[in-house]
Amino acid sequence: VRLFLDSSVMIAGAASAEGASRSVFRLAGTHGWRLVTTPYAVEETTLNLAAFPASVTASWLRIRSQLVVVDDGVTIERPAVFPVEKDRPILFSALASADVLLTLDRADFSRLLGDRFYGLAIMTPGMWLLREREAGRLGRV
């Protein structure tokens, strides 16, 4: 399964060793999940890390090595009405490279959370982990 991580998930994964975002990083290798992102999302993550203690940056540098960085997607060949211009590259890149988009951005992705965009599932890390547990593919997280 290819999971696209937006910057909110990457920051949360670096900032908290106990949250669902870090669990996605921790469990990816043993469950065959491929963690995918883009240069755009990595840059956004890096810029936002300045607001956190240095320990979060150190954690980010450790977990970043698990990511497969693919090209940014800026257009798709289908009609798309998505009002948040800054997040279109995230949505379009995830559609081109992943099965699931994981985001904590409830403000911009609220209409799509728990739904699909041309077959791409859009979830929070917690929703993803719960789905996997309910399907019997993962124990208690």
Tokens found for residue 114: 């728990």
Tell me what pLDDT residue 62 has. Answer: 96
pLDDT band at 84 (very low <50, low <70, confident <90, very high): very low
Range in 15-19, 88-92, 96-100, 120-124 with the lowest mean pLDDT? 88-92
Note the pLDDT tens digit of each residue in 12-67.
999 999 999 999 999 999 999 999 999 999 999 999 999 999 999 999 999 999 99
What residues does 121 pair with on adjacent strands?
A: 100, 116
The alpha carbon of 1 is separated from its chain's Cα centroid by a whole number of angstroms, namely: 13
How many C-beta atoms lie closer than 10 Å to residue 26's C-beta?
15
**pTM of the full predicted structure?**
0.86
Tell me what pLDDT residue 80 has. Answer: 52
90, 88, 109: which is closest to 45 by C-alpha? 90
1, 2, 3, 5: which is closest to 104 by C-alpha? 5
Tell me what pLDDT residue 89 has. Answer: 83
